[in-house]
Each structure stands twice: as structure tokens, then as C-alpha cells.
Structure 1
Amino acid sequence: MAKYIIADNQEITRFAIESLLKQNDENQIYRASDKTSLVAKLKEHEHAVVILDYTLFDFADEDQLLIVSERFALSQWLLISDELTPQFLRRVIYSSHQFSIVFKDGPMKDVRDALHAVSHHQRFISQRALEVIISQQNDEEKPDILTATEAEIVKAIAQGKTTKEIAEERFSSIHTITTHRKNIFRKLGINTAHELIKYAIRAGLVDPSEFYI
């Protein structure tokens, strides 16, 4: 009998993962909506497999993630996200053998293989994740400088505006703003909005008194 904690706030992904896990009637499935509830679940189920979308959760940075994983050393972690930066992948993979990696837009076989591996306390790193890490090692470049448009979008995101609100203000499509957002995260080497807020404060794009980091 395996225990799983699904820590993914994207409803359609959560439903799909639960459907896969329920194919085995013996699996026990739990949900966590934030870091606090995840820690509470891990206290009850220390041997659980955590299925986490880091980019949609409230971890401030990878340090917090690694601290929690070290605290619950008997747990296994399957990170499943749309995008993860090379720096993040290298830090997490090299720091702990508890972590496996797949991408949401990858083949279903990756997800199935990863779930099978982590349930047997084995690590699974998708081919794409390995390629991202190797590519970064072979091409260490300085981060690109943000364009004026990207800087304005960073400011708007840091102020808590949604993609739809930013698109309306800029008379752009939601797709265009989403593309800008992905490019910004890639250039800055970040994965979450929390990290973006930190950058915006350091860069002087927003007033630090407006935030508690």
C-alpha cells in the first residue's frame, strides 16, 4: 500500500494524477493546498510520496523545499511542473536523492514510469530534465537584460495583477502576456511569483514597504 500527497493547485492536473493513482485500489491519496497543510500531512504520513508542482505552490524558494524534504527524510518527492529553471533543477537534483522530475507537457509514459519508480523508492529524472541540465552546463551565459516591456510586466505581476488584467491594460492578448511571463522567468532564472517579487524590490520596480517577504 502506497501513500501519496498531491500538492498541485492546478485542478485538471490534480484530477489526472488522482485518476492514475486510483487504478490501484490500495493506494491512499491525500491533498495539500499549501506548505502548512503539506507539512501537516507529512507529519501523519512520513513515508508518503509527495507529488508537487513547485511553481504553483507557496514555497518561497528551493531552500524552503529542501528544508522540508530533509525534515521528512523518509518521504519521496515527484516534482511535476510546466517549466523549471536549469539552476533549480541542478540544485534540487544534486542536493537530494529524494527528488524525481517530470514535466506536465511530457509524454504520459514519463508520468507512469515516475510514479512506479517513486513508489519503489527509486529516483526518476525525465530525459528533458537531463537535457536542460546538460545544456546549461555546456552553455553558461549571463542572464539576458529585461526589455522595457518585460520590466513593466514584472512590476505589474509584483503588484498582484492577473495575466488578464495586465493584458487588458496593455491592450494585448492573454497569450502574449503569458509568453512574456515565461521569457521573464527564464531570463531571471526564477520559478515562482514570490521570487519575482524579490527581484522587483531589488531592482527598484516596486516599493518594498508594500510587501512582506
Structure 2
Amino acid sequence: MNETIRIIVVDDHAIVRSGVKLLLKKEAAIEVIGEAGDGDEAITKTMALQPDVVIMDLTMPGGKDGLEATLEIKKMRPEVKVLILTMHDEPEYLFRVLKIGASGYILKNALDTELISAVRAVAKDQVYLYPTAAKQLVTGLIQTSDETDGFESLEQLSAREREILVLIAKGFSNKEIADQLFISVKTVETHKRHIMEKLGLTKRHEIVNFALKRGLLDSYE
């Protein structure tokens, strides 16, 4: 990265873009090289101007929103840092933008000094979160740990194994499952063993709990 941090400001409100640019203009070694009013324009400008940091709004009418634009930018220019500047302080937005590769998340009602700190932090390949966001992130991870546990393991199951998992959870015996799927009882037992090994389960009731927590039974009604 150059000594000067090169920035593109993205927001559908011209007055917001002007305010951010005016603020950044006062700072040494920070230069606003472009601006965009929607996600599509943000992508085009990023590809053409190759900034160090894109300050990105989340909700923008017409074309791609901030989430979609961030995802596209990180796919095509992974070295570009995206700093989300938004009015949304809901945890779900925070989780989503971090998951798709954003380097920071700050609210529009933040102090001017916070935005400057955020820009400098993400430019140095650090992650910046507004003060209460870190607490939200940790709390959210704790609350969802039980719900998300095992999803990666679930992806390891074949289509047939998932089918058998659901039937087991619904209470069907090995013989009944074999009859429904036109396979042998021995094959069902083999699949069941593989399922339990892959999911780290040891008892039938654990299979039922696993399926219920992940809404698998609802999908097969």
C-alpha cells in the first residue's frame, strides 16, 4: 500500500459523501480519489481506481447494495479493504459483513475521530469495530454456538446419509428405513454408523436432537 491511504466513498446520499470527504480532506496522508452513489458504481470505481480503502454504506436503493458490492469487490480485489459506514447497529449486519470480508464496521453517528481511526486501522490490515460491536460479536457467537455446531459436519454427509438421518430422527427402525428406500438393513446400519462418526454422535436420541436443532425435520414434512 502507498504511504497515502487512497479512498473511495460510497453512499447514496450526496450530502453524506460530501461530509465524509470534507472530514478526510483535513487528514494528512489520506486522499479521497473517488465516490459512488450505489453498489454497481462502487464496483466499477474500485476496479478502475484501485483504492486502498472503500468506505461503504450498506443500504442503497437501485442496483447492488453494500453487502453485494462488498462481496464482489473482495472477490475481484481481495487486497482492497472495505470499511462499512452505516446507521444499522443490528448484530446480524455486523456478522454478515465480517463474514464476506469487510475489515471494519462503524456507525454514522460515530465521532469524527472514530472514523479516522477506523480508516487508518483497516488500511494497516487491522479489523475495526465500533465500541459496542465487539461485545455484540462475542455475545452473538456464544448464543449461536450450539445452533451452528455441527453444520460443517452436516456438509460432509451424502444425500443418502441425510435422508437416512431424517428417517432415524423421525423414529423409523432400520428395517422400516430399508423398506422405504429399497435397500438392505445392513446398508442402513452402515450408513447410520457413518452418520454418527461424521457428526460425532453416539446415541439415537442425539441424532433426533441434532435434526431438531437444525430444522431438518421441518424440511422433510
The TM-score normalised by the length of structure 1 is 0.56
Q: State the distance in 1 between where 2:112 and 2:46 align.
A: 27
Equivalent residue number for residue 5 of structure 1:
8
Of residues 19, 24, 38 in structure 1, which corresponds to 2:22?
19
Gaps of 5+ in 1: 141-213
Counterparts in 2 of 1:60 and 1:109: CA distance versus 1, 3 Å: closer
Gaps of 5+ in 2: 145-221
Q: State the distance in 2 between where 1:63 and 1:52 align.
A: 11
Counterparts in 2 of 1:111 and 1:25: CA distance versus 1, 3 Å: closer
Equivalent residue number for residue 74 of structure 2:
69
- Aligned partner of residue 56 in structure 1, secondary structure: coil
Q: State the distance in 2 between where 1:63 and 1:11 align.
A: 20
Q: CA RMSD in A?
A: 2.5
**Segments of 4+ in structure 1 off by > 6 A?**
none
> Percent sequence identity over matched residues?
20
Q: State the distance in 2 between where 1:60 and 1:119 align.
A: 23
2:47 matches 1:46: no
Q: State the distance in 2 between where 1:61 and 1:116 align.
A: 21
Q: State the distance in 1 between where 2:114 and 2:82 align.
A: 15
Verify the 8 A CA contact 1:102 1:111 in the aligned structure 2: yes
Equivalent residue number for residue 104 of structure 1:
108
Counterparts in 2 of 1:131 and 1:106: CA distance versus 1, 3 Å: farther
What pairs with 1:105-124 in structure 2 (closer than 5 Å)?
Answer: 105-124=109-128
CA offsets per residue over residues 161-181 of structure 1, 9 Å max, x none? xxxxxxxxxxxxxxxxxxxxx
2:14 partner letter:
E
What pairs with 1:84-95 in structure 2 (closer than 5 Å)?
Answer: 84-95=89-100
Cα shift at 1:16: 1.9
Q: State the distance in 1 between where 2:8 and 2:82 align.
A: 9
Q: State the distance in 2 between where 1:47 and 1:10 align.
A: 21
Of residues 80, 84, 87 in structure 2, which corresponds to 1:79?
84
Give the number of aligned pairs: 139
Cα shift at 1:128: 2.1
Higher RCO (C-alpha under 8 Å, 6+ residues apart)? 1
